[in-house]
Structure 1
Amino acid sequence: MNPKESLSKETYGYQMCLYQNFWCPKFSLEPVIALQRDFQACDTDIFVINMPKTGTTWFKSLLFSLFNRSNEGLLNTQLQTHNPHELILSLEITIYAKDKNPDLTKMPSPRLFSTHLPYDSLPESVKNSKCKIIYITRNPFDTFVSSWHYYSKLENVDNNVGCSSTMEEYFNKFCKGRSLYGPFFDHLMGYWKESLERPKKVLFLKYEDLKEDGVLQMKKVAEFVGFPFSIEEEKQGVVEDLIKLCSIESLKEMEVNKKGKCDPDFENKCFFRKGVVGDAANYLTPPMVERLTKIMEEKLNGSGLSF
């Protein structure tokens, strides 16, 4: 039986199927099943994992630059010619979507991957190996607003419904957990708990902390993945230069992101908007803020995690 036909369905920008208690994009369901079955993690692998619209593009640029700073420097970077999503590929959206049985054995170590999968739905080899997971999240208010703006741009992609629903209708779905790869709080709590139980395997980062003190956070990331900045690099301002290179403002002005496309129907500029903290205040009404605040307080109660 075709699993797409037997699962509950919903729409949040894209058509989704409820699979393993999360809302999987319909177009990614078969790739997800394939990678869960076949993907073999290496102990040296590094995964960028998050919910959509919580800093994926930005953090991919930071991590790629971190690992490639010695080889190419910061002036001759591949970021000038490739969108960050082309430099760190998504398992379910790119790799397994193109080939259900890809040969990943020839990729140089460390292999850098990304995924939006919840922790419980990761391939067993990822959970059981010594690979590293960097999880980045963002406050739910800005996450929702960013997702709304993003999906409203994609109404012509993959029969996307785009703006056929109002912001209020999308907000209602988000609050009920019916968003891409959601529920939002279940997703982040899965990785938060793992980061507490296995801090050497899972590093939990907040978008807001990266914005407030990028130097401190990137030094933490570099230590975590075993590629720390040297004292000389710190003196030379390499960390600051890396953060400046990968800023939203810098990425938006790169020609590849102004005019390039990840595929024939998708423009790279769709990945970039404001990239600021607190922008939700310009869009959410007081009742919406009150509703989501109550949900957040209930879901995070006693966890030690806050926004």
Structure 2
Amino acid sequence: MLSRQETRKLLSRAKTLDCFLQRHILVSVSVRVVLMENGDSDEGYDSSLPVEKWCGDDRLYQWKGCWFRHQYLLGTRQVLDKFKPLPSDVILASFPKTGTTWLKSLLYSIINRSSGACLRSNHPHLLVPTLEVQLYGPRQQSFSNFASTGSSSRILATHLPRQILVDAVEPADCRVVYVTRNPKDTLTSFWQFVLKSSSYEEPWPLEMAVEKFCNGVVPFGPYYDHVLGFWKESLERPEKVFFITFEELKDDTKTQVKRLAEFLGCPFNGDGGEEEVVDEIVMSCSFEKLSSHEVNKSSEHSPWMRLPMSSFFRKGEVGDHRNYLNNEMVERIDAITVEKFHESGLMYGVN
């Protein structure tokens, strides 16, 4: 028979175990509830993956060195399983909020020698769909023209880091255009983008956004690993990976459009008529022009995200972080940027 002291110890351990189990069950349930509330099934949820709380009740899952929201992890696995790349494909790779929408417009216009008519009636994300979101994500859309094997180049976008994307496109050896942006402006734009999301009821404090960004716990992060993966690849294989910054595009869009055309194998020949085409592309793809189209001002939610179509156009400026980040935040991000980039030869993103 147990003594009174032994009985008390046993009861104490039982209560501790009960509390632990309750906490564990509540966390597991909360993760699954969030997934269901976001409109995404928890099918394929892998409890062995590292999990971090991100924004609101949302969680990120780490897989192959990258952090994913659940629906994009499912989409990524579908890309690796089902995507059949073609040698003629052009892949636009980017970290979120680094100029993706602008590059989609430019690449579409360069390859199709577009005068802007398509851009007036189609959102750039519908002209150049994102692999793990629109084509293979849980809310995937139908893009019948991307199933063709014709001679014209398909333009596809992705936020996947190099170490994952290479498994999807290496067999076809596609051309990749990678765009990046000053980390402080990237963070600011990303934070503003999240604030517009209808998925989160409570505002996301800027201090928390900075903390998560610096620790690399953001969708498709860490940012620095993402940039370095493509930067190093562009040095090793410049004929296949074109590395460009948002700031370079803003500084001289016309020159960069010509460089992109050369890389894509559809150069402008330099005569008067072609110069006019370049000027037309630069004008029709400018932030002012794109953001003025009704299709891009629409409050209607996109089919693939709970955000109005207008959310993809904010300011398109260089240095907007100065309006939001305090000196302490700037110094912290700059210090991390120097630490991460200095050995790579990429001296970029520091004031």
Q: Same fold, TM exceeding 0.5?
A: yes
Given the alignment, which residue of 289, 293, 316 partners 1:275?
A: 316
Please list the CA deviations of residues 207-264 of structure 1 after superposition, one character each: whole Å capped at 9, or x if unmatched.
0000001111111100001011122256643212211111111111101011254228
The alpha carbon displacement at 1:11 in A equals 4.4
Quote the Cα distance in structure 2 between the aligned partners of 1:22 and 1:252.
Answer: 32
Q: Does residue 113 of the first structure (1) align with residue 156 of the second (2)? A: yes
Letter of the structure 1 residue corresponding to residue 52 of structure 2 = E
Q: 1:206 deviation in Å?
A: 0.4
Decide which of 160, 172, 177 is 1:129's aligned counterpart.
172
Q: What one-letter code is carried by the residue in structure 1 that aligns with 2:155?
A: L
Contact preservation (8 Å) 2:49, 2:63:
yes
Contact 1:141 1:292 in 2 (8 A): yes
Alignment partner of 1:144 out of 187, 203, 207: 187
Q: Would you say the 8 A contact 1:96–1:102 is kept in 2?
A: no
Partner of 2:61, secondary structure, is strand
Cα–Cα, structure 1 residues 262 and 230, in superposed 2: closer, same or farther, change >3 Å?
farther
The aligned counterpart of 1:83 is 123
State the secondary structure of the residue aligned to 2:170. helix
1:30 corresponding residue in structure 2: 74
**Which residue of structure 2 aligns with residue 194 of structure 1?**
233
CA distance in 1, matches of 2:331, 2:178: 27
Q: Give % identity.
A: 37
Residue 68 (structure 1) shift: 1.7
Unaligned runs of 5+ in 2: 1-42
Q: Which position in structure 2 is the counterpart of 1:266?
A: 307
Deviation at 1:169, TM superposition (A): 0.7
* Superposition TM-score, scaled by structure 2 size: 0.80
* 1:129 CA drift (Å): 2.7
The structure 2 residue matched to 1:41, chosen from 50, 70, 85, is 85
Query: 1:56 aligned to 2:100?
Result: yes
Kindly indicate whether residue 244 of structure 2 is the aligned counterpart of residue 205 of structure 1. yes
**1:238-249 matches, cutoff 5 A:** 238-249=277-288
- Separation in 2 of the partners of 1:3 and 1:101? 25
Q: TM-score, normalised by structure 1?
A: 0.91
Contact 2:97 2:186 in 1 (8 A): yes
- Looking at structure 2, the residues matched to 107 and 86 of structure 1 have their Cα atoms a distance apart, in angstroms, of 19
1:251 aligns with 2:293: no
Once the two structures are overlaid, the 10-residue window that deviates more, 256-265 or 241-250, is 256-265
C-alpha distance after superposition, 1:15-54 (max 9, x if no partner):
4211111111211111211211232211111000000000
CA apart distance, 1:161: 2.8
* Cα distance in 2 between the residues matched to 1:293 and 1:25: 27
User: What amino acid maps onto 1:10 in structure 2?
Assistant: E
Q: What are the Cα deviations for residues 162-182 of structure 1, in whole angstroms up to 9, with x where unaligned?
A: 644310011100000011100
Aligned partner of 1:288 among 317, 324, 329:
329
Q: Determine the C-alpha separation between the residues in 1 that align with 2:339 and 2:201.
A: 30
**Offset of residue 128 of structure 1:** 4.0
Which of 52, 62, 73 does residue 10 from structure 1 map onto? 52
Alignment partners' CA distance in 2, 1:11 and 1:116:
20
Q: What secondary structure does 1:237 align onto?
A: helix
1:222 aligns with 2:261: yes
Residue among 180, 195, 198 paired with 2:219? 180
1:92 pairs with 2:132: yes
| Cα pair distance change 1:150/1:100, threshold 3 Å | closer
In structure 1, how many angstroms separate the alpha carbons of the residues matched to 2:188 and 2:105? 22
Q: How many residues align?
A: 299
Q: Which residue of 1 aligns with 2:200?
A: 161
More divergent stretch after superposition (287-296 vs 25-34): 25-34
Between 1 and 2, higher relative CO (CA 8 Å, sep ≥ 6) is seen in 1
One-letter amino acid of the structure 1 residue matched with residue 226 of structure 2:
H
Task: Report which of the two structures shows the higher radius of gyration computed on alpha carbons.
Answer: 2
Q: Please give the secondary structure, in 2, of the residue aligned with 1:30.
A: helix
Aligned counterparts of 2:142 and 2:302: Cα–Cα separation in 1: 22
Go from structure 1 to structure 2 and tell me whether the alpha carbon gap of 1:45 and 1:162 turns closer, same or farther (over 3 Å shift): farther
Kept in 1: contact 2:133–2:140 (CA 8 A): no
- Does the 8 A contact of 1:37 with 1:123 survive in 2? no
Deviations 1:167-207 (A, max 9, x none): 00111000000111000000000000000001111000000
Conservation of the 8 A alpha-carbon contact between 2:178 and 2:244: yes
Q: Provide the aligned C-alpha RMSD in A.
A: 2.2
Gaps of 5+ in 1: none
Mapped partners of 1:102, 1:235: distance in 2: 30
Task: Verify the 8 A CA contact 2:76 2:132 in the aligned structure 1.
Answer: yes
